[in-house]
Structure formats: C-alpha cells, structure tokens
Amino acid sequence: DQQVKQNSPSLSVQEGRISILNCDYTNSMFDYFLWYKKYPAEGPTFLISISSIKDKNEDGRFTVFLNKSAKHLSLHIVPSQPGDSAVYFCAAKPDTGNQFYFGTGTSLTVIP
C-alpha cells in the first residue's frame, strides 16, 4: 500500500528552466513532509521540508508547495542546474508514530 506516490519516474529539463517534481499522498494524518535528493551510490540527502501548518517553504532555488486539500506536494527548482540531476524522493510522516513513508522517486536530468 503506497501511501506516498511519485507518478513520474523521470523528468528532463533544460538548464536554467524550472523543474517541478510532484508527489501525492493518501494519508490525511501526514503532517510533516520532506524532499530528499539522491546521487548514485550515495544515501539520500535532505533538501527541504514543510510542516502541514504551511503551504510554502522556500530555500534558495528550492521551493516546496503543499496543498493539503488535494494531498499534493511539489518541489520547484529554479533555475535548474546540471548538478541538480539526481533522484528526488518525497517523504511524509504522520503526527503520531515513528515511520516515514517514502515515494518511489523521480529521476531528474538537467540538460546543459
């Protein structure tokens, strides 16, 4: 039962343009959301997070948007750079319990 879904396994974007990565979830009890970035042969690294009391969080080129009514999360990268090419995972956590739920990832390729 995949409670966090990333329906696009891959995405290609030209350098300098916007990358938009999407994530949907089914559990209305999720109250904390994160994006991780993963390079080959490395563990995921934390990128940005948002709590359910907000609908937007921005950190430099990265902005996460949360639409609670739609149970939808997105990560915007502007402008995209070749070094952003990686697999991006979204993750969510309910307000109780210890388990983080991860999506299957979206592989982003930024074309120079």
Partner 1 sequence: GAGVSQSPSNKVTEKGKDVELRCDPISGHTALYWYRQSLGQGLEFLIYFQGNSAPDKSGLPSDRFSAERTGGSVSTLTIQRTQQEDSAVYLCASSLSRGGVGQETQYFGPGTRLLVL
Q: Which parts of this chain interact with partner 1 (CB under 8 A)?
A: 2, 4, 6, 32, 34, 36, 41-46, 49, 51, 89, 91, 93, 97-105
Tell me the closest approach of the beta carbon of residue 15 to partner 1, in angstroms: 27
Q: Measured between alpha carbons, how far is residue 111 from residues 13, 15, 16, 17, 75 in Å?
A: 6, 5, 9, 10, 18
Tell me the closest approach of the beta carbon of residue 100 to partner 1, in angstroms: 7
Integer Cα distance of 81 and 13 in angstroms: 9
In the bound state with partner 1, the residue whose beta carbon lies nearer, of 25 and 80, is: 25
Burial class (CB in 10 A: 0-12, 13-18, 19+), 76: middle
In the bound state with partner 1, the residue whose beta carbon lies nearer, of 80 and 90, is: 90
Q: Would you state the structure tokens that stand for residue 22, as one six-digit string?
A: 């999407």
In the bound state with partner 1, the residue whose beta carbon lies nearer, of 47 and 110, is: 47
